[in-house]
Amino acid sequence: MTSSPQPSPAQPAAPAQAGGRPPRPPRPQVVLEVVESLRLTPHLVRLTLGGPGFAQYQDKDATDKYIKLLFADPALGLTPPYDLDALRERLPMEKMPVRRTYTVRSVDHQAQTLTVDFVVHGDDGLAGPWAANAQPGDTVVFSGPGGNYAPDPDADWHLIAGDESAVPAIAAALEAMPDDAQGTALIEVPGPEDELELTAPEGIEIRWLHRGQMFTPESTGLAHAVMELEWREGSVQVFAHGEREMIKDLRRYLSDVRGVDRRQMSLSAYWAYGRAEETFQAEKREPIGMIFPDQQPPAAAKA
């Protein structure tokens, strides 16, 4: 998961929120440092993170695991991990560290490192420009990981779709597929220079779609390409992540036209066109931000 405005100690239980759902407990923060930076494509930068703080990292058995990076204003001179409760008492909201969500591309427990791929579009966004200029030794702080998806070995075939923000998660999903997996992966990126060599079972066809420009509602053809795809017989497992309205289009098609069981679909909006990250996250609690009409709003996480 790459997040940008454009494809940019135990505590007492908190009181229940309206609706009876308690907020999620605060997540421990992990502090690592940049070990290596690698430009994979013109719009994708891979950072390898490691250091003594890796001992605090608690891995999760999920293919789409993601972390929440915290970015603080350098002018404040804060040292991670951040005591966010204490900071709230003395800082205005606009000065608080901000979160950005990214997929963990891979974890190497022997080397005690993890890699994260960042979509970069010039100076757009916060995390992208930071990643493009990150140097070995730079500090990184995050909470997590979260995540729930894993390829179903009993599915007859797999349908995978996403834009460039989902490339790291798609790559991890393909690598986790059983050797006899069948299906199709549709990946939309700006151009051929943004394609990557991906590892996948022989039975998974990978199709790269080129918009020829940055994402706009008019330039994207990913949802249409999925709808034009020849539908296979048998049970399908779907993994489709990317821009919010595109994912909504796919949900309507998969649910209403193809009748795919909701339990066999991993659909997630990684970002929303024209929305800054904070607005996008806030809208997840509103109808506009929900992929399924009857979706339960997520419980608020206590930072």
Single-letter residue type at 87: L
Closest-CA residue to 198 (of 37, 40, 42, 49):
40
**How many CB atoms within 10 Å of residue 147?**
21
What's the whole-number average pLDDT of the chain? Answer: 89
| More confident position, 201 or 280 | 201
| Confidence category of residue 291, pLDDT binned at 50, 70, 90 | confident
Instruction: Count the Cβ atoms, other than its own, within 10 Å of residue 256.
Output: 9
Nearest Cα neighbor of 156 from 173, 187, 178 is 178
Q: Which residue has the tokens 């290596």?
A: 36
Helix (H) or strand (E) holding 116: strand 113-119
Beta bridge partners of 48: 36, 115
> Is the pLDDT score of 12 beyond 80?
no
Name residue 265's amino acid.
M
CB within 8 Å of 24: residues ≥ 6 apart = 299, 300, 301, 302
Terminal-to-terminal C-alpha distance of the chain: 20
The per-residue pLDDT for range 161-200, each reduced to its tens digit, is 999 999 999 999 999 999 999 999 999 999 999 999 999 9
Q: What is the pLDDT of residue 5?
A: 44
In the prediction, which pLDDT does 15 show?
Answer: 34
Q: Each residue of 108-123: pLDDT tens digit?
A: 999 999 999 999 988 8
Domains of the chain with bracketed CATH: 29-146 (2.40.30.10), 157-274+285-289 (3.40.50.80)
How far apart, in whole angstroms, are the C-alpha atoms of residue 81 and residue 220?
39
- Smallest Cα–Cα separation from 39: which of 48, 31, 52, 28? 48
Transcribe 260-278 into DSSP letters.
--GGGEEEEEEE-TT--HH
Note the pLDDT of residue 14. 34
Amino acid (one-letter) located at 140:
V
Rounded Cα gap, residues 265 and 303, in angstroms:
29
Number of neighbouring beta carbons within 10 Å of residue 10: 7
User: Where residue 288 falls among pLDDT bands split at 50, 70, 90?
Assistant: confident
Query: Rounded CA gap, 267 and 246, in Å?
Result: 10
Q: Given CA atoms 52, 56, 57, 61 in this order, what sign does their dihedral have?
A: positive
Q: Averaged over 250-277, what is the pLDDT?
A: 92
